[in-house]
Chain A
Amino acid sequence: MICYRTGRMPLAVCFLMLLLLSGGCAVTTTNLAPEIPPMHTIEEFKDQRFAEVYDPWEKFNRSMYGFNFYFDKYVFIPVVNGYEEVTPVFVQNRVSSFYNNLREIRNLSNSLFQLKGEESLTTLGRFVTNSTVGIGGLFDPATSFGLDRHDQDFGKTLGYWGSDSGPYLVLPFFGPSSVRDTGGLAVDTAITYGIYTAAAPFAATGHSFEISTGINTLEAVDMRHKQSFRYFESGYPFEYYMVRFFYHQKRELESTKPVIPSE
């Protein structure tokens, strides 16, 4: 290839280049020199392991974590930045409130699945209040009326009824999850889709698909806009484990049944 492109290059030069190239190979082979054990190894470890989470697919998960980093860098964050640039903060907050209100449907269905009567009523109250007084969810007067938001999803419902989280899983686009929470996400999405299809709010416009795609895209942008986390921004080499640990721990705590003190 090299000889061909350089045309009349003397054979000797080609030979020299070959030598240099193989020199390059030699450098690579030194990388394969036998490993020398380090001064400190896991063998000297006599303590309990900590901050560990069941993660049998770590290689795959780390690849996804890397994928999300690049997706954020080249697609998601530039879009979010553009959105933040052209939209006044007031409008951004209304958009967030709007989607928060829509998500009350998911909160409500899962509060019901968990047979939490009072919580379901609170969530229903929030949805009705914010949809009316809050002008279609653009504002959140319910919180100031003392109706606290209860975030629920089907992953939590499964956890509440005793399902184990299963292996840790990093999803493309969505980020940290688990087998259980991924199943939960699918169910929640299906329910939302079912309600949407039944209600068909944009059927009359004849552009139902375009409008719903727009709404979903804006929702994704809004979600990312509210999340200040940036992959690898901490610079910390063990960031993956910190994220994994906090995700898992938070979900574990928030999805399990509270212990009723025996009195």
Chain B
Amino acid sequence: MKPLKYFIIICLILFPVSGFAEDDGYSYPIPGSYEATILGTPAVLMGELPAPTRMKELLLDVIPERNKPPVFFYNKGLRCSFAYQSTKAPLVFLIAGAGSSGQSSKITTMMKAFYQAGFHVITFPSPSNANFIISASQSRVPGDLVEDAEDIYRAMESAWNEVKGDIEVSDFNLCGYSLGGTQAAFVAKLDEERKSFNFRKVLMINPSVSLYNSVSRIEELLKKIPGGAKKEGAFFNKMLAKFANHYRYGNYIAINDDFIYSIYEESLFSKEETGGLIALAYRINLAGMIFASDVMTGGGYVVPKNRVIKATDSLFDYFLVSSHLSFFDYFNQYFYPYFAKKRPGLTKEALIASESLRSIGDYLSSSSKIGVMTNENDFILTPDELAYLKGLFGERAKVYPRGGHLGNLEFKDNLAHMVGFFGTTGGIP
């Protein structure tokens, strides 16, 4: 998601690199978890990644009977990117992280890396991205791993139908990052029954083990800001003022990399503020999911029931209200009631337990095709969950010493490992 990415870059957080990272044969440079998450990978450390020469955008009509409300007039179908080889090659499906589109910068980098190694690639937005909720979610209530996996699977079948006449495929593979990583495991399990693709290999990158735990850890970061999460607007304005003053007092010629790096170097933001900004970006993201879902279900959660929002109506109040709702609000007031109605007798504890890799642990440990790639300091995992992943996957787990949450995803070593996991090279890019 470009604006959010921009937001994160602009809100850069940063405190100085406290000594160089120890020499452990891994040269990703940013030691701190939060800073790595926000700064990501500098372009020079990504390696040469030219844009695919054969590429097009797919707009999939996954649920043809769906009515699209006027406020989403621009939504013409599920937006996927498709890069293809001229010869027979393996195909990899990519699932984006929470809230991200199929054209976000991270998934685009992954697409380029796979394409360069000779794969056909199709990218999918996250089921928590509004484009997916509007175009491809049967329930229009995102967040359930089993249902989201079914929606993704249907979207993949639809994409494959669209392109199968144009390309030759040797086998199918699957890869996802963050929430998309966790979802990839559930999609792989579904594929064992449906067998449309018979995935050869599946890789999860920085997945969460339990969605509820991961999100709780992010929400925790926002509780630490002055006045707590309900004062995130005041926090935003204060951070913005700090950012603006830093620019005005310095002799900068533009808001560019030099300026951003100076924020990092001069540790403009404290550790708590850095964490708060990550959580705030996540809340702004979550607001989009809540609003889109509510409009699509007519649930009366943040939009009045029976109101038809027009294309040019202001949405700003909805933005303010939605961005002040926590994941727990969404879970308790919207998500759980929906599933409790559908599955009588369902307790909150049971629902939380089902939104976890542990619920399919037996399958994951027995299936040799699935692997995981994550970082020691990914803050969405507890030490216990990290140990669980290592124990579950053994040799199929690759754990880097640093990188935070997805910060090193675009680093050249990580991209090489990611592509290498899928082994064979296919056609000529």
Contact = CB atoms under 8 A, between A and B. Distances in A.
Interface of A: 31-42, 44-52, 58-59, 62-63, 66, 69, 148, 150-151, 228-243, 246, 249-250, 252-254, 256, 258-259, 261
Given A41-B321, A253-B247, A48 B234 contact: yes
A69 B301 contact: no
Contact of B248 (A51, A150, A241, A259): A259
Contacts of B236: 48, 50-51
Nearest to A234: B1
Contact of A34 (B79, B103, B306): B306
Interface stretch (B86-94, B250-258, B352-360, B383-391): B250-258
Contact of A235 (B79, B248, B250, B317): B79
A233 B6 CA distance: 14
A36 B333 CA distance: 17
Contact of A31 (B73, B74, B230, B308): B308
Contacts of A232: 74-75
A60 B240 CA distance: 28
A218 B207 CA distance: 45
Interface of B: 1-4, 6-7, 10, 71-75, 79, 99, 101, 103, 125, 129-132, 230-234, 236-237, 240, 244-245, 247-251, 253-255, 284-285, 287-288, 291-292, 294-295, 300-308, 311-322, 324-325, 329, 333
Main secondary structure on chain A at its contact with chain B?
loop
A35 B1 contact: no
Contacts of B129: 235-236
Given A50-B236, A151-B254, A40 B130 contact: no
B324 A47 contact: yes
A254 B3 contact: no
Contacts of B302: 38-41
A231 B110 CA distance: 22
B291 A237 contact: yes
A31 B306 contact: yes
B321 A35 contact: no
A244 B338 CA distance: 35
Contacts of B291: 237-238
Most buried by B among A45, A236, A249, A253: A236
A239 B314 CA distance: 12
Most buried by B among A41, A46, A230, A234: A234
Contact of A42 (B285, B288, B317): B317
A35 B317 contact: no
A254 B300 contact: no
Nearest to B292: A237
A252 B255 CA distance: 11
Given A239-B3, A242-B4, A256-B248, A36 B306 contact: yes
Contacts of A258: 248-251
A38 B79 contact: no
A233 B249 contact: no
A125 B255 CA distance: 23
The list of the 10 closest CB pairs from A to B, nearest first, reads A242-B3, A235-B131, A47-B233, A35-B304, A50-B233, A36-B305, A48-B233, A50-B236, A232-B74, A234-B1
Nearest to A52: B316
Given A39-B302, A249-B10, A259-B248, 11 more contacts: A36-B305, A39-B333, A48-B236, A232-B75, A233-B2, A234-B1, A235-B132, A236-B285, A237-B288, A242-B4, A249-B240
Contact of B230 (A35, A40, A46, A240): A46
Given A66-B73, A250-B255, A36 B3 contact: no
B253 A40 contact: no
Most buried by A among B2, B231, B291, B313: B2
Contacts of A240: 315
A62 B311 contact: yes
Most buried by A among B101, B131, B320: B320
A238 B249 contact: no
Contact of B301 (A38, A52, A242): A38
Contacts of A46: 230
Nearest to A261: B249
Contact of A37 (B10, B231, B234, B304): B304
Nearest to A31: B308
23 contacts: A38-B294, A38-B300, A38-B305, A40-B325, A42-B321, A46-B230, A47-B231, A47-B320, A48-B231, A48-B237, A50-B233, A63-B312, A228-B2, A234-B2, A234-B3, A235-B132, A235-B288, A236-B101, A237-B315, A238-B319, A241-B315, A242-B6, A246-B10
Contacts of A229: 2
Contacts of B288: 235-238
Contacts of A69: 74
Contacts of B130: 235-237
Contacts of A243: 3
A74 to B, nearest CB: 12
B238 to A, nearest CB: 9
A117 to B, nearest CB: 15
